[in-house]
Amino acid sequence: MAFNFLFHSLDFESNLAALIQFMRTQDLNYPDYQSWVDRCQVELDARYKHAILAWSCAHRQRDLVGEVIYQPHKSLSGFMEVKNLESIQTLEKENLLIL
C-alpha cells in the first residue's frame, strides 16, 4: 500500500479558504459547529489559532484530507492545545490516513 501525503502548516494566501470549506463539510452534528468554524476562521486569520494540513498526493493531484487546529493553552503558559482534528473517512484504496 502506498503512502503519499504532504503535511504542512497553513499557507494563508492559498489554503485558508480550502481549510474552512473542508472544516464545514466535517460537521458531525456537533452543536453550533458552523458558528465555531466562523470564529475559528477569524482566529486563524489573526494568527491566534494555527493549523497543520494533510494533503493526499495521489495521482499527481493534491486533495485536502485532514487538518489539526491548535492554539496556545489559555491557562498553562508554554503549552499548546488541540482544538480540532479531522480526516476524511474515505480515501482511495492505496492511501490510508488516521489522525
Residue 15's domain is classified under what CATH number?
A: 3.40.630.30
Instruction: List the domain range (segments joined by +) for residue 28.
Output: 5-87
What is the total count of domains within the chain?
1
User: Is residue 33 a part of any domain in this protein?
Assistant: yes
User: Is residue 96 a part of any domain in this protein?
Assistant: no
User: Is residue 99 a part of any domain in this protein?
Assistant: no
User: Is residue 69 a part of any domain in this protein?
Assistant: yes
User: Is residue 55 a part of any domain in this protein?
Assistant: yes
Task: Give me the residue label for grid cell 494563508.
Answer: 12
User: Is residue 92 a part of any domain in this protein?
Assistant: no
CA distance 93 to 80: 34
pTM for this entry:
0.79
Report pLDDT digits (tens) over 26-85: 887 889 999 999 999 999 999 999 999 998 876 667 788 889 999 999 999 999 999 998
